[in-house]
Amino acid sequence: MKNACQLLNGIWNNNVVGCYSTSYGFFSRVTVSTQHTGDAALQRIKQLREQIEAHNQQYYQYDAPVISDADYDALMQELLQLEQQFPELQSKDSPTHRIGAAPLESFPQVVHQVPMLSLDNAFSDEEISAFIERTQQRLNQTDIDFVAEPKLDGLAVSLIYENGILKQAATRGDGSRGEDITDNIRTMQCIPLHVTREVPALFEVRGEVYISRKGFAELNQRCQQQGKKLFANPRNAAAGSLRQLDSRVTAQRPLLFYAYGYGVFPDESLPKTQFELLQQLQAWGFPVCREIQLVNGLQGCLDNYRTMETMRPELAFDIDGVVYKVNRFDYQRQLGFVSRAPRWAIARKFPAEEAITQVIAIDVQVGRTGALTPVARLNPTTVGGVVVTNASLHNFHELRQKDIRVDDSVVIRRAGDVIPEVVRVLIDRRPETAMPYKQPEVCPVCGSGLEQEQIVVRCSAGLYCPAQRKEAIKHFASRKAMDIDGLGDKIVNQLLEAGLINTSADLYRLQLSQLIELPRFGHQSAANLLSSIENSRSTTFSRFLYALGIREVGETTAKHLAQQFSDLDALMQVDQQTLEEIDDIGPVVAQHIVSFFQQAHNREVIQQLIQAGINWEVIKPETASMPLLNQRFVLTGV
């Protein structure tokens, strides 16, 4: 199994491995024969599929292969030849579909039947203690078991099976909606295409797709040999591999999977506890992390955390913490959810790793709303497996507070193991030539004057500033806004530099003949981009409002505005006082909204967007915030 996922550290379990019988015909040498017809071919194809899937489970889940790579390849080759000879017998659950299919133009969207929620985080023993105390109080129980699961640094996915056959795989996305990655998941040898055990007619398995440290090193080595850009870390490599439009590329990546939960699942088939569920999933052929433990109470959780913290460097994969879940499902149902996270689980994160490096420059970036952000350019250094070259200094006030200077030696860390930040300056290493940083007096991009708003310094030019204009277009096209797939930073820069766009409305006037003249733009890539732009014309009111880039209007505020107003014209005419009556909107946000719609340039761009065919379904506004509207009351009393 040469082009296979990296070995899993599975647990040998005789009860589970009992599905491997001598009827599968394990032998020392395989003879390929394609002299089959009719029923004989069908029976042989079934036998080969069962054998190959059984060998996959033996290899990936239990780290105990019973035949050689050559014998495995011979089985696969025989199956391929038979399916080519008898195309009517081909099936999507066949192991041959792991090789990869023709490229897609884009990923279809999937709505999760059960939302894929995030977890609350804890960063100290005290926070874990508070979580367990709250749990005990809500359940009126003191003796509670928890399942401790390593928090893998990968990508959460959903796998839906119908009659034991993998029908759909999707990314977590925003929790409510993800991307259909079924073709890519089918290429992963460690995920069953067909569960042969007795299983519910419909069930959903959730877990993490990741790349082991060894697999990551080998992948980057191949990239280097081929002259390709190296991946920054295993998580980025896993995410990028899983979101390939060409599943044949995914098939060549060393992706692995661990199951950790469920989504849609019939009550009568669901075990009573999380630990029993994981055992059941393992018995069905799904890889389960062997470091998972069943612990009791606060002390059990704390002891487990210390153990995992010690084991972390020796693990075959990256983890950024430990997840603690209440074991009993009846307790989980009783605890329920709050906002976008369950009350019955928490993620204890490891402290961010730190490193020492040198500041080689301090640059200033101008954002979408004109805010100037100082950025430290650093000597490249590795922090938590990622090469860090830049760190945001957030604002000039923080830069002055920390007194960061060019040539300083600084301690950096990845905040939350994601965003690099400068923690402190090592003053004793400061050279005499290091001078205090001088804040710019004008916009470094367009030369316009600056405005001070508390600790934020802004360029006063608005969309006349090229930097703000570029960031506004990038925001407009972003995934949570108009979701124009393929319109990233480099392409936006290309389009602006070529003079093809000046505002977001110009995107809808682009022509194929214009795009193919640009460097590195082939006919197909240009057609794909235009297709994405065309698809974005149909959206929702809330996405459109978010895409406009109004200051302080995030996704939630945009949704509240869309719920309260029947159309765009009504919102553009609203006054500040009316806006302040809406949930989540205070005086500052209301003022930004009114000011945005009063600006002639913004109104002109909005008109151009509507004329370009941007449309959404008109939904009757909610009146929940005004429950007494149009109600009649009779008041009586003495």
pLDDT at position 31 is 40
181 within a domain of the structure (yes/no)? yes
Q: Are residues 302 and 438 in the same domain?
A: no
* Alpha carbon distances (Å) from 12 to 18, 257, 285, 367, 428: 11, 17, 12, 54, 55
Portion of the chain with pLDDT greater than 90, in percent? 60
Strands 121-122 and 345-349: parallel
DSSP per-residue letters across 496-545:
HHTTS-SSGGGGGG--HHHHTTSTT--HHHHHHHHHHHHHTTEE-HHHHH
Strands 615-616 and 538-539: parallel
1 within a domain of the structure (yes/no)? no
Q: Which of 491, 509, 536 is the last residue of a domain?
A: 536
Q: Are residues 275 and 127 in the same domain?
A: yes
CATH number for position 523: 1.10.150.20
* Least confident range of 16-20, 294-298, 319-323, 587-591: 16-20
Span 60-98, pLDDT tens digits: 545 456 676 567 767 877 887 788 788 877 776 677 665
pLDDT at position 379 is 95
Opening angle at CA 424, ends 121 and 432, nearest 5: 170
537 in Cβ contact with 508 (< 8 Å): yes
pLDDT at position 43 is 82
Higher pLDDT, 558 or 228: 558
pLDDT exceeds 80 at position 386: no
Q: Are residues 526 and 547 in the same domain?
A: no
637 within a domain of the structure (yes/no)? no
pLDDT exceeds 50 at position 7: no
Q: Is 480 a catalytic residue?
A: no
Q: Domain count of the chain?
A: 5
* Least confident range of 102-116, 311-325, 561-575: 102-116
Higher pLDDT, 138 or 20: 138
Average of per-residue pLDDT across 359-380: 95
Catalytically annotated residue among 46, 151, 349, 470: 151
pLDDT at position 14 is 29
Span 155-200, pLDDT tens digits: 999 999 999 999 999 999 888 888 999 999 999 999 999 998 899 9
pLDDT at position 196 is 86
Span 24-65, pLDDT tens digits: 333 333 344 445 556 777 888 888 888 887 777 665 545 456
Question: How many CB atoms are located within 10 Å of the residue 225 CB?
Answer: 8
Mean pLDDT of the chain: 85
- In sequence order, what are the beta bridge partners of 207? 157, 259
CATH number for position 25: 1.10.287.610
What are the tokens at 591? 């003022």
Q: Are residues 453 and 335 in the same domain?
A: no
Beta strands in 367-428 (DSSP E): 372-383, 386-392, 409-415, 419-425
Q: Are residues 204 and 341 in the same domain?
A: yes
Structure confidence at residue 619 as a pLDDT band (50, 70, 90): confident
- Longest CA span, the chain: 99
627 within a domain of the structure (yes/no)? no
Structure confidence at residue 482 as a pLDDT band (50, 70, 90): very high
Q: Are residues 220 and 334 in the same domain?
A: yes
Average of per-residue pLDDT across 318-336: 95
636 within a domain of the structure (yes/no)? no
Structural domain of residue 58, as residue ranges? 14-90
Q: Are residues 518 and 548 in the same domain?
A: no
Q: Are residues 256 and 379 in the same domain?
A: no
User: Rounded CA gap, 626 and 638, in Å?
Assistant: 29
pLDDT at position 326 is 98
Higher pLDDT, 518 or 20: 518
623 within a domain of the structure (yes/no)? no
Q: Is the pTM of this model over 0.85?
A: no
255 in Cβ contact with 241 (< 8 Å): yes
pLDDT exceeds 60 at position 466: yes
Q: Are residues 366 and 334 in the same domain?
A: no
Average of per-residue pLDDT across 243-253: 88
pLDDT exceeds 50 at position 625: no
Torsion angles phi and psi, residue 371, rounded to 5: -65, 135
pLDDT exceeds 90 at position 620: no
Q: Which of 57, 90, 123 is the last residue of a domain?
A: 90
pLDDT at position 94 is 75
427 within a domain of the structure (yes/no)? yes
Q: Are residues 181 and 321 in the same domain?
A: yes
pLDDT at position 584 is 75
pLDDT exceeds 50 at position 9: no
Look at residues 249, 369, 302, 373 and name the one whose alpha carbon lies nearest to residue 131: 302
Q: Are residues 570 and 556 in the same domain?
A: yes
Q: Are residues 153 and 212 in the same domain?
A: yes
Q: Which of 295, 314, 349 is the last residue of a domain?
A: 349
99 within a domain of the structure (yes/no)? no
pLDDT exceeds 50 at position 300: yes
pLDDT at position 3 is 35
Higher pLDDT, 453 or 396: 396
